[in-house]
Chains A and B, each alone.
Chain A
């Protein structure tokens, strides 16, 4: 039993998708390694809920835009390729925004302009230009998923710390017992503001760089 699991795990580890995902999650993480998409990472990480919705929206947009661009890669004329890429990305983002407005209205109000700003998020255009234009559709799709997960992992990590330290809650539920507040614990107001996110992201970048160095 154990043997088959190990065997299938090694087989899994050998697939291209697996290597792509690990690479995008760790060695080439869009936020902590390439420092892309910082704008939204600062803005929507006050709460886990908004961070999660943003992560899902961005992951789906990167994955599908990469796939569509990859399918069209031989058709897109080179001289207008950026325009074509942006048009495809913008379409997907607007559709995502409309869906949020229809079914998650309160969250879409909180995310305000940031869903729309996925269009200008460097991660999306970066994957389109750097990967999808020269790789087949399925790999591009997986690459989009991988980078989306890489982005999401940092976003959720930052949001976890900010919501916990800034408002004493996780997903809107109070997790810090009242007793602690009574004996003098207070929420850290800095965590609710954008500079708090800067510091937390900085710490994540530091942590990852230190760990990567050790591995070498």
Chain B
């Protein structure tokens, strides 16, 4: 066999063997990985409303138990009306509510925003007044570690707590990421609507700001309901309380 033919045959056989190995590993382990991803999502939802602290050691059963007790997944249509999960269509939006003593403490919106290198996935929790941010978490992103990747860090996420998505006149303004420290670059009256930026990650901040604005606009009908009459909103009976 000539050298060239030998190389081609070796490469071909190697490709087949390697792809078989990788497919086996990937499909064999998929079940465990997806279970982990689901638990991680639930953990992030619990974190966004402050039910568990980041870094707190908690086993998967603990997460599932806490999630089942205090979080209800719901669906709403674009006008903010609750709908049955079976009737949901393409326009329906998922929302999670944090239930405590039969009332709603906070509602949690899934975030799926553009980032610099890929989608940023996380959760933004708003208090039952429909305007105050209760927490923000990121569970998946492809930003550069140390730069845009800081969005998954505690110091960045902590700054979101207590920010307002509406201004004093009651108009929707969303929450943005400042280009630098809020204290230095944002005029005083706008400070409740901005969080500190990450140095070296201006673009990540820009895309995430735009993404969050767009998502919050979509959920505005829900937020308006909470703002108008928070006391009247109760979780649906069939799912709990």
Contact = CB atoms under 8 A, between A and B. Distances in A.
Interface of A: 43, 75-77, 79-80, 83-84, 87-88, 91, 94-95, 98-99, 101-103, 105, 109, 112-113, 194
Contact of A98 (B25, B40, B145, B146): B25
Given A87-B15, A88-B18, A113-B145, 10 more contacts: A75-B10, A77-B7, A77-B10, A80-B10, A84-B11, A87-B14, A91-B18, A95-B21, A95-B25, A109-B40
Contact of B32 (A43, A75, A87, A102): A102
A100 to B, nearest CB: 10
B40 A84 contact: no
Contacts of B15: 87
B6 interface: yes
How many chain B residues sit at the interface, stated as a range, is 20 to 34
Contact of A80 (B7, B18, B33, B39): B7
A44 to B, nearest CB: 11
B29 A101 contact: yes
Interface in B23-79: 25-26, 29, 32-33, 36-37, 39-40
B10 A84 contact: yes
A101 B11 CA distance: 29
Given A102-B29, A105-B40, A77 B3 contact: yes
B22 A91 contact: yes
B12 to A, nearest CB: 11
B7 A112 contact: no
Contacts of B11: 80, 83-84
Contact of A84 (B14, B22, B29, B33): B14
B7 A102 contact: no
**9 tightest A-B CB contacts, nearest first:** A102-B32, A105-B36, A102-B29, A77-B7, A95-B25, A91-B18, A101-B33, A98-B25, A98-B29
A84 B17 CA distance: 12
A103 B32 contact: yes
B230 to A, nearest CB: 35
Given A80-B11, A91-B18, A98 B6 contact: no
25 contacts: A76-B10, A77-B6, A79-B7, A84-B11, A87-B15, A87-B18, A91-B18, A91-B22, A94-B22, A94-B25, A95-B22, A95-B25, A98-B33, A99-B29, A101-B33, A102-B29, A102-B32, A105-B33, A105-B37, A105-B39, A105-B40, A109-B40, A112-B145, A112-B149, A113-B145
Contacts of A88: 18
A102 B36 contact: yes
